[in-house]
Structure 1
């Protein structure tokens, strides 16, 4: 009986192979398929020629087809569930769970909830970005750690663990426990517009499934995070930004709009006249009799003894 179950599990496992883009024949086939998908109105905007142009749409479809063949999924499903967040490709959590459930290697994912009492009051660290202005015009964002107090007196701390077994196996594969306290300490709960406040149990299941897949089936997610993970991700790296153009624009906007003139309305110069005996260009005091001074200097040089 056990051998039959194992045989069924092997047969249910999809045989997948990646697209070889260095093979001219495969590359030509993939390009034709990508052009077909890019002309469809059923794919998201990032894959449509009418939305992003032919070259970008076809290129995006080629990447989606490659991912679909690697994980054994439908290309349309991949396009519908591969989302670009902050320039990073990420999966929707529902698609990731369905991929695990239908891959043929595991039983469907299950979730275990544990209620651990109220959170109470505790301190957590929140990262805030502040602008640092440099005199050279190259300002940058500096991340500072700020300790704050969270009041969770009326909030229950719930812990969720994703688990399942292999097809035909009995060993339980447990993922990392995810709790509301962890969500608060990691900054997921306190972000503006966070869904952790309105649907905590749903977010716990999504995050627990993502953590489970990263450990037991990373080839299904191909190392990519889920949409919710990318949205909750906090980058604490200091980033520099050249604001020279911005500084110059501020200088122009704050400078005098009317040019200053050193002449009055009659066109006469407002500066004081140059005194007699002063060079108007350099401001040096001229000798009283330049010719006499030059002659006396020449005579002194001639009368000087030669050594």
Structure 2
């Protein structure tokens, strides 16, 4: 990632008091280009801006590099390294991977102190139940080993720079706090398509309304919809299911209970990021040195839809591919 600008700034997006910060948070929360964890959440943005001020990030940098994971603010690994580099306290950092690709080592030297070395191996990942974890631990385990070793080393040597912030890649691997997963009582557990189920629901409602009031606890079962989202492989399918979900949500005869609306939207948003990520990784193989700059700019344009972790993985994969082309 690009080096973060850590010096104080008086730009028009840098608030100078609490009132300005609250106004800026409201404006950013209404935008669709901020990360999804901050959309319509001015309070989260305000907290992120304060954390950013503590560690030297401007408001927009804070939202791009501070993630809310399990309710806790954490910082992405590349941003953590950028903060340390920008502090002026780092003498050097060396990151290596063993020949068999099973152990990552990070050696950090702070000015005026002895160097510190941290390692993280496949055995460590196995002990932490990470190797079978869906996502980058399956697709890019070497990258994850490197980030974990780096995170340990930087936190050990530069706690004053990081200010106790969590390490986002590590926080993502922590199990979420247990929730009540008892399924709600439902009356529509069929496996038909969304539109067919809506039609059936409408017919049922019309019949019931002729004799009695629809029961308020007749919650729509969204699990088949979530299963349909999980099977998506193309953006065309994403858009199609998105329209069906909108029809479902807008239908006055459908009762969606609790947080199920957000669950549907978040699941589809995450699936969109996954599909875009897979398309990007497939396209990298066709990238050339001549179109590398255009390819990189396209990645920055879709950074928010990819998400920070996927964005970093794609950027590193592109760099590795271009290095191979240079050496060929």
The TM-score with structure 1 as length reference comes to: 0.48
Structure with the bigger percentage of helix: 2
Question: Hey, which of these two has a bigger chunk of strand by percent?
Answer: 1
Larger Rg over CA atoms: 1
Q: Which is bigger in relative contact order (C-alpha 8 A, separation at least 6)?
A: 1
- TM-score normalised over the length of structure 2: 0.45
